[in-house]
Amino acid sequence: MYPLEGVVGSLQVKSVLSQLGRDIQTARKRRRMSVADFCNRIGVSDKTLAKLERGDGGVRLETFAMALLALGMLDRLAGIADPASDATGIGLDREKLPERIRQRGHKDKKTVPINQSDASQGPTVLDDDEGTAF
């Protein structure tokens, strides 16, 4: 770990959690939910809700999830780390792709019968030049 990495990372985390807390508070107020009603819906005390809306890092993830559920926003949390949206991971995977794929073994195309009834009709090509025989 680099000397400032933990400090910078924690400042970034605090900033994001603070914004998330403010956003949850704004969404609650837009829906005209009182503190008492919202606390009842998500199963926390008013003190815990105050911490959540401040972005306190000690609030359980489940509490954030329950707040989002009560606001009708849980689907946003469900897709937050979706691998299909992970640009860095996708880029790293692409770097690992081989430039060229070589066929192992015989130079002839590999063929096998799919089942006994197909065997009488001749072999099925599993590998073709277009890469479409599946």
All structural domains of the chain with their residue ranges: 5-81
19 Cβ contact list (under 8 Å, min separation 6): 55
Check residue 115 and give its pLDDT.
Answer: 56
DSSP 3: T
Angle (CA) 130-119-124 rounded to 5° is 0
Domain 5-81 adopts which CATH fold?
Answer: 434 Repressor (Amino-terminal Domain) (1.10.260)
Q: What is the pLDDT of residues 1-30, one digit of tens each?
A: 455 555 666 899 999 999 999 999 999 999
CA distance 93 to 115: 36
Residues 6+ positions from 55 with CB-CB distance below 8 Å:
14, 16, 17, 18, 19, 20, 21, 22
Over residues 24-41, mean pLDDT: 98
pLDDT above 90 coverage of the chain, percent: 54
Q: Which of 22-31, 66-75, 89-98, 99-108 has the lowest mean pLDDT?
A: 99-108
- pLDDT, mean of residues 71-83: 92
Q: Work out the number of other CB atoms within 10 angstroms of the CB of residue 95.
A: 7
Rounded-to-integer distance, Cα 26 and Cα 52, Å = 12
Encoded tokens for 77:
């949390």
- pLDDT tens readout for residues 55-73: 999 999 999 999 999 999 9
| CA 28 remoteness from chain centre | 25
